[in-house]
Amino acid sequence: MVGSLKGDGHLLLKLDIADEASVASAFEEISAKWGRIDGLVNNAGVTRDQLLLRMKTDDFQAVLDTNLKGTFLCTRAAAKMMLKARSGSIVNITSVIGEMGNAGQSNYAASKAGTEGFSKSVAQEIGSRSIRVNCVAPGFIVTDMTDAMTEQAKAAILSKVPLGTLGDVDDVANAVSFLLSDEAKYITGHTLSVNGGMYM
């Protein structure tokens, strides 16, 4: 969903972020409605967990296509509009897994680590036009996915978190909101970790 900070409505779009034509069409609609884009949050992501020797090539590629290629396609489309306005903020959601790795998630870790490197590179390319590119790297957050974990698995995770608790979705949302805002106008190429100290 796309919304306007000016309060003139929302635009609900269905798109496949891994498909170049689908992304191009969606951003054309955004441009036609508002003529500009002030902020972009690349938050779509998938997992296809498996140990390396059992991982299918298609599962490795599917994760890269959504998590990394999708971020590239949406960022490129948004950047074209932001360059004309000479302003904008892009926030890419990565993960603590991209920073520390995790057995059985080599594809996911690669996609998220790649997104961090991509973000730093783009931040250098377009910073002179007052466009900022940053990442938020969540740790383990209370979601339907973590709710489905066994108590033993949760305890194992919490033993590695100095703050002793899982994060809340608002913790991530607040970090994203900050990086999108003018309060972060002198921050770019940065990854803000929201992980309770799990990885430092």
For 145-193, the pLDDT digits (tens) are: 788 888 998 899 999 999 999 999 999 999 999 999 999 999 999 999 9
* Residues 6+ away with beta carbon under 8 Å from 35: none
Residue 1 has pLDDT above 60, yes or no: no
Q: What is the DSSP string of 29-97?
A: HHHHHHS---EEEE---------GGG--HHHHHHHHIIIIIHHHHHHHHHHHHHHHHT-EEEEEE--HH
Prediction pTM value: 0.93
Residues 75/92, Cβ–Cβ less than 8 Å: yes
Q: Which whole number is the average pLDDT over 38-58? A: 97
Residues belonging to the active site: 108
For residue 46, the number of C-alpha atoms closer than 13 Å in the C-beta half-sphere is 15
Helices (H) and strands (E) in the chain, counts: 8, 6
For strands 131-138 and 10-11, give the pairing. unpaired
Q: For the chain, give the mean pLDDT.
A: 94
d(CA 118, CA 48): 22
